Structure 1
Amino acid sequence: MTPVNTTCTNMTVWETTINQLYTYVFLIIFIPGLLSNTLALWVLCRFISKKTKAIIFMINLTIADLVHVLSLPLRIHYYIQNDWPFGKALCMLCFYLKYLNMYASIVFLVCISIQRCTFLLRPFAAKNWKSRYDVCISTAVWVVVGLCCSPFILMRSNSGNTTRACFKDLPMRQLNLHSAVSMMVAAELLGFIGPLIIIGLCTYLIVNSLQQRNLKQKSTGNTRKALRMVRVCTGVFLFCFAPYHINFLLYLMVTQSIITNCVASEAIRLFHPISLCIASLNCCLNPLIYYFLTTEFKQQLSQHGSSVLRGRLMSMESTSSFRE
């Protein structure tokens, strides 16, 4: 992956370990990620009539997770067989979807935090807010994030003797210093530091509002729910995406030969796949936001489950009566 530093140490054993790591992690993620996000999308779209409380953003977050989860079987096939027979276009698409999921998830977590904070501090804004506003914002997010993720494809080369290679085995293109620095700054500022500041500010404002209302003995359940929502968004954001973005800056410096020390470059390259696996866990953690923090989600899921159970019991009773 990094031709300048591959002469430092022999990474053959670690390359095999990476394949096993990706295989096991993606296998663990696939089933629960598919089931939880499919159920979440179904409930959010069909049974929640209230379009406030960031429901539209949650739907888009679920779609982002599902798109990535559905590409995991192809990734698992590649890391088991060490061969990609599906063509260059599908390889680039799956490679692209990983980063699209990551950064779309980050932006929608930011949108959820901002909306919950804004509606809590300005209740009248929530009353006048329209669902189409969230739809327009979500569309803009997909377009902007989609364009911003395109450099991850352009950074990879699939030529020469690597036509059956994909993902981590695609060689990295060498960029000039100005382009490399620009990409690093943009990815870190727009993809991590900026969202972290925004989510942190939302948390601070909600905590401050909660403290003021406690002093006035006017604290409401909505305030505490909004605080839990933003805190969980912050927790998912930090746990899943902080390791990758901390290492990404150093990893890009290694691939562009800015860092040439063998010990440092090896440690950075070793941690890179681990950070990507941690980032992929957001597909399983995001549904927790919907279930544990959205009252409507739990109510509709419970009501639907109860109605299905009652229908089956009535069907069994009618069948047994008919037989008697």
Structure 2
Amino acid sequence: MTNTSDNCSFTAVDSLAWTVQLGISIPTFILGLVLNSLALSVFCCFWRKQTKTSVYMINLALADVLLLLSLPPKLYYSVTTVPGLLCSFIQAPYFVNTYTSIFIIVCITVDRYICIRHPFEGRANQSPRWALLICGFIWAVAWICSSPIYVFHKKEPIKCFHNMSAQTWSVPFIVSVEIFGFLIPLVVMVFCSAQTIWILLNHKTQDKKSVEESGSLRVIVINLVVFLVCFTPVHLGICLQCLVKQQVIVGCTVRQTISLFLQVSMTFANLNCCLDAIFYYFAAKEFCKKAQLKRVIELCPVFNPCAVSWHCRHWESSPCQDTDCATPGTATTTGRRTTCSQ
């Protein structure tokens, strides 16, 4: 196939990508909507007794639900030609909720790290108001940063998520997205996760076997792996597509491959909406500590797996009962005061 721009067709690539997106997005939409709706309903039932962690969970679930609701129009309008401005209103919520999810996940990871590394400071800043302010700031910044999508849109009818304007693919804009939207969150995630794992493994007052059995290390590692698997490919694809738009990459076959990779990686990134259930499972500790799990199970029997029951028994016998630490089994008790140990 010729390498010239005029003769390089993407029809077959877009058709294959749409088929893959359809096969992945439908189960993602159904499963993700069920899990996140259940999580939202459960967390909101106990709003009066929310913690900083559960506030993050509510916002994360809300971002995931909104992202999932944007999938049907994304699929439909990616193969249907509509005015460029309408595409902006379809594309913006998708990207806003994607990056809102990224930053809330990072906040949860940082909060867990602070609670373990700096227990006294972490305990002093466990007010849900801090989480509300942080989440509100994240939502506001995400929507403000989406403004270029409305400003830089093509006037003629286009297929959404295809043929975005040249300004959208400008180097300064894409570099900003890559650095602030992915690389900085990635560095923070890796640092906090690595530090948390190191502290747990080297905890002098708790043997390593108990730490491993508690599932703390497993959850931290899984969360980091999920973040890497879901968001690294799509941002790599964005970077490569920017090089295509800047005519650094001109080969037709390579351009077709990059287009297919970007579209499929965006679809795999949506799987994060289902995999975030790891966080919700982990947050079940809050309900166990507050002796409200029985009511949760009565309302939603799906929250009664054997693993949750085991964790409840484990947390009931754990000394870390009065803290909002996101990692069980990392506390010491002094009289009536409980803090997380370093």
1:150 is aligned, of 147, 150, 155, to: 147
Q: Aligned equivalents of 1:151 and 1:263: distance in 2?
A: 30
Q: Aligned equivalents of 1:57 and 1:5: distance in 2?
A: 49
Alignment-mate amino acid for residue 92 of structure 1: S
Post-superposition offset of 1:267: 1.8
The alignment-based identity, stated in percent, is: 29
**Residue pairs, 1:163-182, within 5 angstroms:** 165-169=158-162, 171-175=163-167, 180-182=170-172
Deviations 1:73-118 (A, max 9, x none): 3234445xx4367x76553222111111211111011100000110
Query: Equivalent residue for 1:7?
Result: 6
Q: Which moved more, 1:296-305 or 1:123-132?
A: 296-305
Alignment-mate amino acid for residue 291 of structure 1: Y
Are 2:136 and 1:139 equivalent residues in the alignment?
yes
Judge conservation of contact 1:120–1:223 (CA < 8 Å) in 2: no
Post-superposition offset of 1:191: 1.3
Bigger helix fraction? 1
**Residue pairs, 1:104-253, within 5 angstroms:** 104-129=100-125, 130-157=127-154, 159-160=155-156, 162=157, 165-169=158-162, 171-175=163-167, 180-213=170-203, 215-217=204-206, 227-253=217-243
Deviations 1:138-177 (A, max 9, x none): 11111112222333444441x23x1xx44134x322249x
Judge conservation of contact 1:155–1:173 (CA < 8 Å) in 2: yes
- Change beyond 3 A, Cα 1:50–1:233: farther
Post-superposition offset of 1:289: 1.9
Q: Aligned equivalents of 1:308 and 1:37: distance in 2?
A: 13
Q: Aligned equivalents of 1:190 and 1:283: distance in 2?
A: 21
- Change beyond 3 A, Cα 1:238–1:138: same
1:101 is aligned, of 92, 97, 118, to: 97
Judge conservation of contact 1:78–1:84 (CA < 8 Å) in 2: yes
Q: Aligned equivalents of 1:78 and 1:184: distance in 2?
A: 23
Q: Aligned equivalents of 2:86 and 2:165: distance in 1?
A: 19
Q: Aligned equivalents of 2:246 and 2:150: distance in 1?
A: 16
Q: Which moved more, 1:265-274 or 1:229-238?
A: 229-238
Deviations 1:243-292 (A, max 9, x none): 00111111112123232233322221121111110111111111232114
Q: Aligned equivalents of 1:61 and 1:252: distance in 2?
A: 29
Post-superposition offset of 1:218: 6.6
Q: Which moved more, 1:109-118 or 1:276-285?
A: 276-285
Post-superposition offset of 1:125: 2.4
Judge conservation of contact 1:244–1:272 (CA < 8 Å) in 2: yes
Alignment-mate amino acid for residue 65 of structure 2: L
What RMSD over aligned residues (CA atoms) do the two structures have, in Å?
3.0
Judge conservation of contact 2:238–2:262 (CA < 8 Å) in 1: yes
**Residue pairs, 1:220-299, within 5 angstroms:** 227-292=217-282, 294-296=284-286
Post-superposition offset of 1:11: 2.2
Q: Aligned equivalents of 1:266 and 1:20: distance in 2?
A: 16
Q: Which runs of 5+ in 1 are unaligned?
A: 310-324
Post-superposition offset of 1:216: 4.1
User: What is the TM-score with the length of structure 2 in the denominator?
Assistant: 0.76
**Aligned residues between the structures:** 295
Are 2:73 and 1:83 equivalent residues in the alignment?
no
Judge conservation of contact 2:36–2:277 (CA < 8 Å) in 1: yes
Q: Aligned equivalents of 2:193 and 2:97: distance in 1?
A: 24
Q: Aligned equivalents of 1:125 and 1:221: distance in 2?
A: 23
Query: Equivalent residue for 1:17?
Result: 16
Judge conservation of contact 1:117–1:226 (CA < 8 Å) in 2: no
Judge conservation of contact 1:26–1:72 (CA < 8 Å) in 2: yes
Judge conservation of contact 1:71–1:94 (CA < 8 Å) in 2: yes
Q: Aligned equivalents of 1:75 and 1:253: distance in 2?
A: 24
